[in-house]
Amino acid sequence: MTQHGATVLRVCRAVVGPIDAEDAWSETFLSALRADPDPDPAARDPDLWAALQRLPDKQRHAVAYHHLAGLPFAEIAAILGNSPAAARRAAADGIKTLRRHWKKDEKT
């Protein structure tokens, strides 16, 4: 993702337009991760993907762009149309929500 992320985003912008490009980019890489025969063990959990999909858009995109694609917050801010601090906060809030999800599941 880090190697091809910018190129895929440019293609998505050209194909679906700037408004839907970020969603198309996220779906492209999430599909690639699902198809990977040997992803990281955490990526094998369908509950993780479901929890990620339930996050608000800005949080989901910030988490995907930063933690899956490795983009810096300045680039994420440009994609999401906010500040680097807001992108960092969205990613942190998304991760916090995902951690609460896992802690809840561990107790049951």
Location of structure tokens 């995902």: 98
DSSP state of 20: T
Query: How far apart are the C-alpha atoms of 46 and 7, rounded to whole Å?
Result: 27
- Give per-residue pLDDT as tens, 66-97: 887 788 899 999 989 999 999 999 999 999 99
**CATH assignment at residue 63:** 1.10.10.10
Nearest residue to 13 via CA among 24, 2, 27, 26: 24
Query: How far apart are the C-alpha atoms of 39 and 76, rounded to whole Å?
Result: 24
- Domain tally for the chain? 1
- Give per-residue pLDDT as tens, 3-37: 777 888 888 888 788 888 888 888 787 777 666 65
Query: How far apart are the C-alpha atoms of 41 and 10, rounded to whole Å?
Result: 30
User: What predicted TM-score, i.e. pTM, was given to this entire model?
Assistant: 0.59
In terms of residue numbers, what domain contains 56? 5-107
